[in-house]
Structure 1
Amino acid sequence: HEYGVRVTGCTVHLVDHGIDTGPILAQGVVPVLEEDTPETLHRRIQEEEHELYPRTLARLFNGEIRIGQPV
């Protein structure tokens, strides 16, 4: 909140030749709380990542996400 940031998050994307430039497959949103410390926010982002990654893989394998299709 120090800089007015209210949300942060994580992204699952394909890897290409650039840095963080591959097609996005999914994104997760994590609210920034008034009482957050860097450690608590980091922990909540990791929790979202740990849920988002397998969920995205399942959607990819089930055909719900196709490579090259908009998210």
Structure 2
Amino acid sequence: MKVRVDDGKCCGAGTCVMLAPDVFDQRDEDGIVVLLDETPPERLHATVREAAGVCPAAAIELDENV
């Protein structure tokens, strides 16, 4: 799995950080998403999928074919 984020779409809700803090963080100044791990280990894939699915701005993209 490869994760990409579009920080231009991000609204700073922070749901991704709450679900997968090893993969996502937020900038201190505005709460916009920061990608910590673009190729998370398999044990985190289900959680990362959930984070992408609940992102209110659809700012997280997943490539499952990597």
Alignment TM class, shorter chain as reference:
0.3 to 0.5
Greater fraction of residues in helix: 1
Asked which structure has the greater CA Rg, the reply is 1
TM-score by length of 2: 0.34
| Larger RCO (CA within 8 A; separation ≥ 6) | 2
